[in-house]
Amino acid sequence: IKTKAKPKAKIKTKAKPKAKIKTKAKPKAKIKTKAKPKAKIKTEVKKQTKRPQPKTIKSKKIETDPSTSKIRDYLEANQQELLNIIQSNQSAERKTSESNFSNEIDMASDLEGREMMFQLTSRDRNELKKIREAIYKIDHGTYGICESCLKKISSKRLKILPLSNLCIDCKEAMEQAYD
């Protein structure tokens, strides 16, 4: 008879736990950092150093001959007169712009009047500008000097045309160039 062999007993072996090797943790290297000193705020006021100041030129009173002072008075009177004319034209223009027109003829007539007033006002403004330039030149001692050749304009010419900025020779040369 055959007998069965006894099965071998299984030996259960437990896996041995791996031996834990304990190593002491190295302490982290301590880096000593010194706190940066806070920036000191200087409250010292800088001494003001004397800077070289530009030399001031004392305003010299420009001596004008009596004829120039008469011309200046004339120009100032003209300037005031022109300012009054321009202001009255502006107020008249405002009044007409507010008016109602009953027909096209009235409207056309008003537009023509406005155009004429505009041209007069424009001419007056140009003359006012020239007057102011002449007064400026008188104040700065350059009145009566030709803007082209820098020679003195004759007093006769200035008495007749106080807004002249060219001498007779330069004006004639300019007119011939245009012809």
Name the helix (H) or strand (E) containing 78: helix 66-98
Residue 4 maps to a domain: no
| Residues 89 and 159 reside in one and the same domain | no
Residues 131 and 77 in one domain: yes
The CATH number that applies at residue 75 is 1.20.120.910
Domain that residue 160 falls in: 146-179
For residue 150, pLDDT beyond 90: yes
Considering 11-25, 74-88, 161-175, the range whose residues carry the highest mean pLDDT is: 161-175
How far, in Å, CA of 115 to CA of 90, rounded?
13
For position 32, what pLDDT does the model report?
58
Cβ neighbours of residue 172 closer than 8 Å, sequence gap 6 or more: none
Mean pLDDT of 9-21: 59
With respect to residue 116, please indicate whether it lies within any of the assigned structural domains.
yes
**3-state class (DSSP) for residue 142:** coil
Q: Looking at residues 85-89, what average pLDDT do you find? A: 80
Residue 138 shares a structural domain with residue 150: no
Which residue from 163, 167, 168, 166 is spatially nearest to 72, judged by alpha carbons? 163
Find the radius of gyration of the CA atoms of the chain: 51
Q: Does residue 158 share a domain with residue 102? A: no
* Residue-level pLDDT at 43: 54
Task: Give SS3 for 145.
Answer: strand
Q: Are residues 157 and 135 in the same domain?
A: no
Structural domains counted in the chain = 2
Is residue 89's pLDDT more than 90?
A: no
What pTM does this model have? 0.52
User: Would you say residue 172 has pLDDT above 60?
Assistant: yes
Is pLDDT above 70 for 39? no
